[in-house]
Amino acid sequence: MDEPYVQAMLLQAFARYRPQLQVQSADDSSDDSAEPSRLMHWREYESIDWDAVHRSSTVFSSAYCFRKGLIRKAQMAFNIKLYTAKHPESILCTGVPETWIFELDDVDYIDEALMECFEVDHGMKANEGVADPRERQQFILKPSLTGRGAGIYVFDTKERLLELLETEFQSDDEEDDDDDNEASENAERSYHAVSQIREWVIQRYINRPLLLESHQNRKFHIRTYVLAVGDLRVYVYRHMLALFAPHPYAASASKLDDQRAHLTNTCLQAKSAGFDESAAVCLFWELDLPRHKLEHIFDQLCRILADTFTAVSSESTSFQTWSNCLEQFGFDFIIDEDCRVYLLEANAYPDFKQTGDQLKFVVEGFMDASVAMAATKFLLDDCLDEQTTAVASTACADLLEVFAHKNERRW
């Protein structure tokens, strides 16, 4: 992994299984003539030897090759829509904000694009004459692929939506005119801007979020780390995080352009003057809520995850699980004032640095558990001794299985 924050944790976790396991970094040029009987690629997606992973049962990877049905917002929304149409009893019918796929090539065609999500258009028209922001129908616009809060906006009128889209398209045009000497840097940026920014999802905005006086009534979301293994078991890591916006929500509910009240991504805050990590991130289980409410939230969250993986794994064209792969995901949830839980999105290669330094032990524990699963299920399953089994069992103690393939829901 290229990120030092994560790399150090992985090396520490793998060190627990020496000498049975040997770790070699990608830039290690040493010539080791002894071919390993089993090999695992734990690296960036683009650097994994997918041909070797696909062809060999003794080569493993830390990612699935095909998982856009989960991590692309539009594709996940499509898969969930298909699933809920067949399973109206699923918690996904109420546990995901109403979502529309919004495609637009040019702002001049916004009326035609809105015809494909007419409920949004009707909602904006219904807001005319409604003064109370909590009674207005509000929506949130998100690029299908980009993460870390990029390009996300809240709106409740067509005029604001048009203004936001014009800004996005203008930004795209400026990036297309960048100098050629920045081509390598702009290639990735251009890919997201040109290929993806014209596909968005629009979600009904949860404008009555759960607010806690102990955190100055600031909006927050829950970051949950999830481990998917083989084909397919899914585990939730119990030590979840609550990530808070820097500005109080109630005072800014009608100010939809105040992203510091509406967006809770800590990566948007970290570079700001006066950033207070302890105010931005805390442990979910230490929120100022009765224990039974925390358990109720966690129960909903696990059920949503179980049905989400059921939904996406049934669409093999966009989500395929291989028996020699595992992957870490970051799922984001929001809670409304009635303690109902909603799934917002799923992220591959989540930004673990959002956890910060004070709660770094959460990521360290998740890395330990993930490596332990890789060691016991893939790399050492035929030569596990009592000591290694005990180490791995301790590391996995906070992983809770919520899903197993063939719809064997465990929650």
Q: What is the pLDDT of residues 34-48, one digit of tens each?
A: 677 899 999 999 999
- Residue (of 60, 43, 44) closest to 52 by Cα position: 60
Measured distance CA(44)–CA(324) in Å, rounded: 17
Confidence (pLDDT) at 134: 81
Confidence (pLDDT) at 344: 96
Confidence (pLDDT) at 265: 75
Residues 283-302 as b/e (b if ≥16 CB within 10 A, e otherwise) read ebeebebeeeebeebbebbb
β 341-348/326-335 pair status? antiparallel
Confidence (pLDDT) at 185: 43
Confidence (pLDDT) at 271: 59
Measured distance CA(317)–CA(277) in Å, rounded: 41
Q: Report helix, strand or coil for 393.
A: helix
Confidence (pLDDT) at 171: 66
Confidence (pLDDT) at 377: 93
pTM over 0.85: yes
- Residue 234, amino acid: V
Query: How do residues 185-205 score in pLDDT, each as one tens digit?
Result: 444 443 444 444 488 999 999
Confidence (pLDDT) at 411: 52
Confidence (pLDDT) at 11: 93
Low-confidence ranges of the chain (pLDDT < 50): 179-197, 407, 409
